[in-house]
Amino acid sequence: MRRYVLTGTPGAGKTSILRCLAELGYGVVEEAATAVIAQAQAQGEDAPWTRASFVDDIVDLQRRRQLEASARGPVQVFDRSPVCTYALAKYLGLPVSRALTAEIERITAEEIYERQVLFIRNLGFCEPTRARRISFQESLAFERLHEQSYRAFGYELVDIPAGCLARRVAAVSSAISRPAS
């Protein structure tokens, strides 16, 4: 099984790309942080990212989704990984918890994800949402932190430049459909 990670700055188009990949028949797994935020906000918590357990909630959902995804085909694409959660913790100034450290050790030891990470470049803007309250300038700093984090953990970034959705989907599909080396 080959599991690829889509990463990049908030608002770069990862979710749109992921939906197109699902239409092409790839197994896909949605971003956990957005789900954690949406669930907390639905329960009346406006800014769950300020809660001490926020990072661990994301790690827990990422792990569960990764373990449940085994039946989704031989090639899977994940919208973010625990390395993204590491970058998020750093960005928010939160400690890297034991749960996050353990999960990064697990995905590394078990070689859960391919070493080539699909880095979706920013589109030149960042549209705010209820869950995404970040300016474009802040998103660029967050993008650099993701790059640094993946490289620090030994991943190779496959650059997917800004452009039309069809071209980006084709670039991702081409990268993940190559035979394993």
pLDDT digits (tens, 9 = 90+) for 132-160: 667 778 888 989 999 999 999 999 999 99
Q: For residue 97, give every residue at least 6 positions away whose Cβ sits within 8 Å of its Cβ, in sequence order, or none.
A: 55, 56, 59, 89
Q: pTM higher than 0.85 for the full model?
A: yes
Question: Which CATH superfamily does the domain covering 2-177 fall into?
Answer: P-loop containing nucleotide triphosphate hydrolases (3.40.50.300)
Question: In this predicted structure, what is the pLDDT of residue 59?
Answer: 97
Q: What is the pLDDT of residues 39-84, one digit of tens each?
A: 999 999 988 988 889 999 999 999 999 999 876 778 999 999 999 9
Using DSSP, state whether 36 is helix, strand or coil: helix
Extents of the domains making up the chain: 2-177
CA angle 53-118-56, nearest 5°?
A: 10
More confident residue, 28 or 124: 28
Confidence of residue 110 (pLDDT cuts 50, 70, 90): very high
Q: Give DSSP secondary structure letters for 79-115.
A: E--HHHHHHHHHHHT----HHHHHHHHHHHHTT-S-S
Q: State yes or no: pLDDT of 126 exceeds 80.
A: no
Model confidence at 17, in pLDDT bands (50, 70, 90)?
very high
Q: What is the pLDDT of residue 108?
A: 97
Instruction: Read off the pLDDT of each residue in 101-127 and give the average, rounded to a whole number.
Output: 93
